[in-house]
């Protein structure tokens, strides 16, 4: 009897805690790539501001855009900016627009497994486009061997590995290839899933990495964060200034800084192949998608408050999770843009 | 046994309710109807949500092989091909192995050994498919490249199905992993069926002077044929719909190749891979249409299977268990 009473009191106490925690719930959905930092941000923000509880589902960029357009979530998140058709669809449905807010930066890196090669390789845009188009088929092709003097590359066939699941990582990679290769742009173009001319598909970063480790003379691409956290060696890529740059937090932020000067007002900008001597060319922003008009004033104020915090304190915690920070110019511009949320 | 239909007579409905028969009949009827409703609802949902590709591509959806989300071109053929080829490879490997093992367990092995082995087989059937996928990635894929491929390609390389290079992943690798996954089903069900063959059938055969093997192969196995077929169709259904393990080892390339070493794709795998990031209605609905195709494929193959059973059992005997 005593025990039952004890349990009852415990349950009641729990209920009381749940009821007392009547924080305003704000729902979001979208990109998987920034999920670790978003979940950390929302957690820290909730601890500092117990009145607001952000709930984020990492269902994928495509699903994020779809859900925010349908109005089933309060905000979305995406690795590739919404295109004009998607913006129009949102405008038609809601009678007002949707705003893009860059949050952090990420990058794709080429990773490979070549028998007898241990050092980091240098890749030109022409070599990468040629390999992924299926035109450069041997590792000792001059396009690859040229910038890698002193490395003995085998005369073996190249096995290309790409993502099989729709992914923001693929969007960044194909966006880059579309910029550096006319042929890629017309034949394949950019997107979260594309019709790959050659290669094997692996599911997720871990699937691609697994296939590369298992397959001699293969090459693929993974997220920088994934490569760093799992100690996967990766190559350098030649940027638009002609230098070979290895991806790291500094070179990715440099790419954003290079693009910041021409940052459009809606922040929908691709920073692949960005100008700047130290800029890593296969970098990208990832965005939060915030409706311009809110029916619900407390929600609107909560989101505005979070965005302000994200741009100030929030940015300090991103590098610990291997994301690159936003450059100062972009932060300043975003702070002004927050006022457009009504 | 009494028929489940309504009984006309002096017993009133109330009386039937009181002794529980009617209640039991109603409750189980509702349960049985649920199955039909779920199936119908599933088809309806798939049908309604795949209207766009039906209008745009029509029948050509089944026979074209371009899958390009950016140009909005979708054809299901490479996925249908991959699904059928991997399942076929799986059955070619799993059926003789599974039935052979079941015969041993049911007819030849000492009962204790049989029970212990059966325990392990049931355990295998309960292993999640992602584990089989990992087994595929870490063991079958390297084995494929270093052992199986050279062994088949050198002597039989002139055959189209063994031509070309091997990356380790592909139709055959997926088929082998699927075979490993479905063998427990075949063994388990076939063993039960074989064990349920009446004892006098065996004794009659032995009394007529046949050897142990002759009684097994010529009397017991034909007697249990329908049940063994059933185990194979259960295995086929599992192979057709398997997603995770297949996508890990098939190579995820929507191409049709005669060579079993070539990478391919299956319907279930492409849906799992692309569904979350499918932007655009036509893209999303094409994936749903693929789901409908898989459903149809399973439906047709199941129908053919039933037909096969009907045709073959007309001259044979009925299973007792």
pLDDT in tens, A17-63: 554 457 788 999 988 888 889 999 999 999 988 888 999 988 888 88
Chain B CB contacts of A86 under 8 Å are 279
The 10 Å Cβ neighbour count of residue B111 is 10
Q: CA angle, A250 as apex, A249 and A252 as ends, to 5°?
A: 65
Q: How confident is the model at residue A8 (pLDDT cuts 50, 70, 90)?
A: low
Does any CB of chain B come closer than 8 Å to the CB of residue A215?
Answer: yes
Residue A117 token pair: 């090669």
The model's pTM is: 0.83
pLDDT at residue A167, as a whole number: 84
Is B66 near chain A, with CB under 8 Å? yes
Q: Of A193, A201, A210, which has the smallest distance from its Cβ to B251's Cβ?
A: A201
Judging contacts by C-beta atoms under 8 Å, the chain B residues touching residue A207 are 248
Nearest Cα residue to A186 out of B120, B71, B153:
B71
Q: What is the pLDDT of residue B2?
A: 45
Backbone φ, ψ for residue B6 (5° rounding):
-65, 140
Query: Is the CB of A192 inside 8 Å of chain B's CB atoms?
Result: yes
Question: In Å, how far are A165, B52, B53 from B57, measured between CA atoms?
Answer: 24, 8, 5
Q: Is the ipTM of this complex over 0.85?
A: no
Chain B segment 158-217 residues within 8 A of A by beta carbon are 165, 167-169
| B265 contacts in chain A (CB < 8 Å) | 201
> What is the percent of chain A with per-residue pLDDT over 90, rounded to a whole number?
43
Mean pLDDT estimate for chain A: 88
Is A214 close to B278, i.e. CB distance below 8 A? Answer: no
Per the listing, tokens 């086929």 go with B236
Instruction: Find chain B residues with C-beta within 8 A of A134's C-beta.
Output: none
pLDDT score, position B192? 92
Whether B90 and chain A come into contact, CB under 8 Å, resolves to no
d(CA A96, CA A295): 11
Do residues A309 and A326 lie in contact, with contact meaning Cβ atoms separated by under 8 Å?
A: no
A214 touches chain B (CB under 8 A): yes
How far, CA to CA in Å, does A105 sit from each of A41, A316, A335, B54?
Answer: 15, 13, 17, 40
Concatenated DSSP letters of B212-267: HHHIIIIIIHHHTHHHHHHHHHHHHHHHHH--HHHHHHS-------S-TTS----H
Interface contact flag, B68 A215, Cβ < 8 Å: no
Contacts of B253 in chain A (CB under 8 A): 196, 199-201
CB burial of residue A75 (10 Å; 0-12, 13-18, 19+): buried
Burial pattern A255-294, b for ≥16 Cβ within 10 A else e, equals: bbbbbbeebeeebbbbbbbbbbeebbbbbbbbbbbbbeeb
Instruction: Give the number of A-B residue pairs with CB atoms closer than 8 Å.
Output: 86
Decide if B67 touches A, using CB distance below 8 A: yes
User: Distance, in angstroms, between B258 CA and closest chain A CA?
Assistant: 17
Query: Is the Cβ of B281 closer than 8 Å to some Cβ of chain A?
Result: no
- What average pLDDT does range A265-282 have in this prediction? 89
B278/A contact by beta carbon, under 8 A:
yes
Q: pLDDT class for A298, splitting at 50, 70, 90?
A: confident
Cβ(A107)–Cβ(A282) below 8 Å: yes
- Identify from A195, A208, A218 which residue to disrupt to test chain B contact, counting B C-beta atoms within 10 A and taking the largest count: A195
Beta carbons of B279 and A215 less than 8 Å apart: no
Residue B140 touches partner A, C-beta closer than 8 Å? no
Q: Is B8's Cβ below 8 Å from some Cβ in A?
A: no
Q: What mean pLDDT comes out for the span A224-236?
A: 88
Does A195 lie at the interface with B, CB-CB under 8 angstroms? Answer: yes
Nearest CA in chain A to B75: A195
Q: What is the DSSP letter of B106?
A: I
CA distance B80 to B67: 13
Query: What is the rounded CA–CA span in Å between residue A81 and residue A264?
Result: 12
Cα B294 to Cα A161, A164, B171, B290: the distances in Å are 27, 19, 18, 6
Q: Which residues of chain A are within 8 Å of residue B71 when distances are taken between CB atoms?
A: 189, 195
**Does A164 sit within 8 Å of B247, measured CB to CB?**
yes
Return averaged pLDDT per consecutive 10 residues of chain B, 321 residues in all: 48 71 89 94 93 90 89 92 95 95 92 91 90 92 90 87 87 95 94 91 90 90 89 91 92 91 93 84 91 92 82 56 39
Q: A340 to chain B nearest CA, in Å?
A: 27
Name the E strands within chain B: 67-68, 73-74
A213 interfacial to chain B (CB closer than 8 Å) = no
Are B277 and A194 a contacting pair at CB < 8 A?
A: no
Are residues A166 and B263, on separate chains, in Cβ contact within 8 Å? no
Contact B65, B254 (CB under 8 A): yes
Q: Which two tokens stand for residue B108?
A: 């030849």
Residue B84 confidence (pLDDT): 93
Nearest chain B Cα to A207, which residue? B248
B100 touches chain A (CB under 8 A): no
Write the DSSP symbol of residue A138.
B
Q: How many CB atoms lie within 10 A of CB B216?
A: 20
């Amino acid at each position: 009897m005593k025990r039952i009473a004890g349990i009852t009191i415990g349950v009641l106490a729990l209920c009381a805690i749940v009821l007392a925690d009547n924080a305003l719930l704000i729902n979001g959905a979208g990109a998987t790539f920034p999920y670790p930092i978003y979940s950390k941000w929302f957690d820290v923000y909730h601890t500092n501001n117990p009145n607001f509880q952000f709930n984020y589902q990492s269902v994928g960029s495509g699903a994020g855009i779809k859900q925010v357009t349908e109005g089933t979530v309060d905000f979305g998140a995406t690795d590739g900016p919404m295109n004009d058709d998607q913006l129009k669809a949102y405008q038609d449905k809601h009678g007002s627009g949707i705003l893009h807010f860059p949050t952090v930066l990420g990058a794709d890196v080429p990773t490979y497994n070549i028998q007898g090669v241990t050092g980091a390789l240098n890749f030109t845009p022409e070599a990468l486009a040629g390999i992924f188009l299926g035109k450069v088929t041997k590792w000792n092709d001059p396009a690859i061997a040229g910038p890698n003097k002193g490395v003995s590359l085998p005369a073996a066939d190249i096995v290309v590995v790409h993502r099989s699941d729709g992914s923001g990582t693929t969007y960044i990679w194909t966006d880059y290839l579309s910029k550096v290769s006319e042929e890629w742009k017309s034949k394949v173009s950019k997107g979260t899933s594309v019709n790959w001319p050659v290669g094997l598909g692996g599911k997720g970063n871990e699937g691609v990495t697994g296939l590369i480790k298992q397959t001699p003379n293969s090459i693929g691409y993974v997220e920088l964060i994934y490569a760093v956290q799992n100690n996967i060696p990766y190559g350098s890529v030649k940027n638009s200034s002609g230098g070979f740059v290895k991806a790291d937090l500094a070179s990715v932020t440099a790419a954003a800084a290079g693009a910041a000067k021409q940052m459009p007002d809606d922040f929908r900008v691709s920073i692949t192949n960005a100008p700047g001597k130290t800029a890593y060319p296969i970098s990208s922003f990832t965005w939060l998608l915030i409706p311009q008009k809110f029916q619900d004033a407390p929600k609107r104020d909560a989101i505005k408050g979070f965005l302000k915090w994200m741009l100030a304190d929030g940015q300090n915690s991103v590098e610990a999770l291997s994301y690159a920070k936003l450059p100062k110019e972009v932060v300043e511009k975003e702070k002004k843009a927050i006022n457009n949320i009504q | 046994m009494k028929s489940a239909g309504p009984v006309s007579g002096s017993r009133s409905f109330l009386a039937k309710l009181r002794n529980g028969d009617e209640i039991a009949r109603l409750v189980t009827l509702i349960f049985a109807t649920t199955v039909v409703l779920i199936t119908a609802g599933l088809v309806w949902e798939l049908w309604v949500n795949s209207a766009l590709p039906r209008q745009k591509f029509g029948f050509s959806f089944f026979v074209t092989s371009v899958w390009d989300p950016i140009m909005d071109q979708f054809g299901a053929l490479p996925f249908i091909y991959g699904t059928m080829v991997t399942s076929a490879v799986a059955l070619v490997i799993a059926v003789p192995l599974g039935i052979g093992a079941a015969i041993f367990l049911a007819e030849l092995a000492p009962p204790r050994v049989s029970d212990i082995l059966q325990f392990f087989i049931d355990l295998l059937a309960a292993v999640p498919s992602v584990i089989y996928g990992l087994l595929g990635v870490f063991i079958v894929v390297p084995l494929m490249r270093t052992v199986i491929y050279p062994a088949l390609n050198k002597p039989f390389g002139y055959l189209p199905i063994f031509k070309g290079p091997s990356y380790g992943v592909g139709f055959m690798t997926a088929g082998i992993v699927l075979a490993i996954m479905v063998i427990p089903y075949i063994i388990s069900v076939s063993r039960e069926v074989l064990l349920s063959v009446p004892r006098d059938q065996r004794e009659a055969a032995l009394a007529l002077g046949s050897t142990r093997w002759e009684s097994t192969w010529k009397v017991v196995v034909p007697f249990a044929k329908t049940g063994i077929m059933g185990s194979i169709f259960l295995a086929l259904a599992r192979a057709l719909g398997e997603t995770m393990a297949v996508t890990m080892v098939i190579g995820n390339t929507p191409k049709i190749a005669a060579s079993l070493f070539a990478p391919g794709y299956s319907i279930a795998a492409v849906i799992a891979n692309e569904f979350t990031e499918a932007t655009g209605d036509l893209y999303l609905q094409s994936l749903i249409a693929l789901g409908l195709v898989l459903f149809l494929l399973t439906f047709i193959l199941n129908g053919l299977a039933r037909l096969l059973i009907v045709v073959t059992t007309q001259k044979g005997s009925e299973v007792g268990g």
